[in-house]
Amino acid sequence: MISPRKIKICIYVVGLMLAVGRINAQESPGRVQAGPMRIDPRIERALKAVSAKRIRANIDKLVSFGTRSTISAQDPDVVTSGHGIGAAREWLKAEFERYSKECGGCLEVKTDSFIQQPEERIPRPTEITNVYAVLKGTDAENAKRIVLVTGHYDSRNTDILNITDAAPGANDDGSGTAVSLECARVLSKLKFPATIVFLAVAGEEQGLNGSHHFAEMAKQQGWDVEAALNNDIVGGDKNPEQDHSLVRVFSEGLPAAATDQHIRRIRMLGGENDSGSRQLARYIYDVARTYDTEVKPMLVFRLDRYLRGGDHYSFNQQGFAAVRFTEYREDFHHQHQNVRSENGIEYGDLPKFVDFDYVAHVARLNAATLASLASAPAPPANVHLLTKSLENDSTLTWDTPRDGLATEYEVLWRATSSPEWEYVQKVGTARRATLQLSKDNVIFAVRAVDAQGHRSLAVVPAPEH
């Protein structure tokens, strides 16, 4: 009979052999395991400035408007009385303007207003206003590149058409709105080559109306939105099953904006796990490995939760990379409910269920992602994988972006069955690299890196015949 100790040793040896085999197959000079980024001390300091106290004050303020239903009254006297969505809108504008004053007018505070015609959840023509602040990039070429954070400031209770009863929306989505505000406050103290947009949208509960209008405007005006971070229900509801060390990050697989030709290529080559949004999710994973954000992203490879939707989808529809942050475990008694007690259960989306420290951690993860991307070079353009002939080596080519920040490029790869990038090879300033690895067995990508180690998003190559 074999003793348990011998079995243990056997398992250990077999495990070691497997591990060695795997490393040997992948290792050669210049190739290393993919890992965290280089810490930027400026970003690290900015994260320390994120304040749970400020976030709490902002969520309490949003709740104080009673209801922020998109279809609630917005006439001037109601706005003056501090009630309804119009009052919330005016306060958001004033808050962004206050941050701008603190940074010598560095933010451009704007609104995007439109009249939404009646539809299922909008009984009469309704003015919907998105409020946003722009921290313009410091050099002309990079300023065209935009990274964006958003939350929805509208709220609802049990009845989507109810505009009179309380709809506190502390978690959904006072928390996300507070993340966007706090990112604006701390990041406006810094300067970045690329542009950051801090957004608060309305109409989410009615049917993603605000974000739809905003993303469409961005597309029509030719904005180069590299990343949109949607925070919706990031309050870390204090239920016993909550895990305050995790935040879910949802990303679409098959891009909503993919053409038929694109879908055919995805089907042929196994690209269903490599949308731009998924590269953004992987980037967030790397950010969390780099900075001390306390909360870690749990990547969910799915557009959204069952039966639910969110504003990131509006950006996906326009072809932009966008993800959704949501707390690990939602308590549905505390969302979309009239405030009440029934059979000993408390219903309603009240501030007392929100964990403000958790929201601050999520805000740090967002701020670190925005700051890293806005500091980084543009992603390499026209990335191709040469497929002219049958061969076991793989050659990738790309164009140098015009932004001029990149000092080197890195080729990444992973097994087709792996969720995250596993290996990286530095290839200097070349615009072409040949690796002794079969493209049939791995998925490749290329990213740009600057002198301080800021990384662009990774770009998966298209085949070139």
CB of 204 to Zn ion, least distance (A): 6
Per DSSP, the three-state class of 327 is: strand
Please report the sign of the dihedral spanned by the C-alpha atoms of residue 218, residue 454, residue 103, residue 54.
positive
Q: Which is nearer to Zn ion, 173 or 331 (CB)?
A: 173
Beta bridge partners of 448: 409
Main-chain dihedrals φ then ψ at residue 247, nearest 5 degrees:
-130, 135
CB of 144 to Zn ion, least distance (A): 30
CB of 172 to Zn ion, least distance (A): 4
146 vs 73: CA distance, rounded Å:
33
Q: Which is nearer to Zn ion, 349 or 355 (CB)?
A: 349
Query: Which of 37, 460, 462 is closest to 277 using CA atoms?
Result: 460
CB of 352 to Zn ion, least distance (A): 19
User: DSSP H helical segments within 27-175, as ranges?
Assistant: 41-48, 52-63, 76-80, 84-102, 140-143
Angle at which helices 356-375 and 276-290 cross, to 10°: 110
CB of 292 to Zn ion, least distance (A): 28
CB of 203 to Zn ion, least distance (A): 11
Q: Which is nearer to Zn ion, 286 or 349 (CB)?
A: 349
103-106: long-range contacts (C-beta < 8 A, 24 or more apart)? 103/188, 103/189, 106/135, 106/188
Q: Which is nearer to Zn ion, 317 or 456 (CB)?
A: 317
If residue 383 lies in a helix (H) or strand (E), which one and from where to where?
strand 381-386
Q: Which is nearer to Zn ion, 99 or 313 (CB)?
A: 313
Give me the residues that bind Zn ion (CB under 5 A), please: 172-173, 232
CB of 208 to Zn ion, least distance (A): 10
Main-chain dihedrals φ then ψ at residue 342, nearest 5 degrees:
-145, 125
Query: Which of 127, 310, 72 is closest to 212 using CA atoms?
Result: 310
Q: Which is nearer to Zn ion, 172 or 237 (CB)?
A: 172
CB of 93 to Zn ion, least distance (A): 21
- At residue 336, what is the residue type? H
Q: Which is nearer to Zn ion, 351 or 401 (CB)?
A: 351
Query: Which 8-state DSSP code applies to residue 67?
Result: B
* Residue where the block lists tokens 């406006």: 188
296 vs 261: CA distance, rounded Å:
36
121 vs 309: CA distance, rounded Å:
15
Q: Which is nearer to Zn ion, 40 or 172 (CB)?
A: 172
Main-chain dihedrals φ then ψ at residue 160, nearest 5 degrees:
-60, -20
CB of 174 to Zn ion, least distance (A): 10
Q: Which is nearer to Zn ion, 354 or 385 (CB)?
A: 354
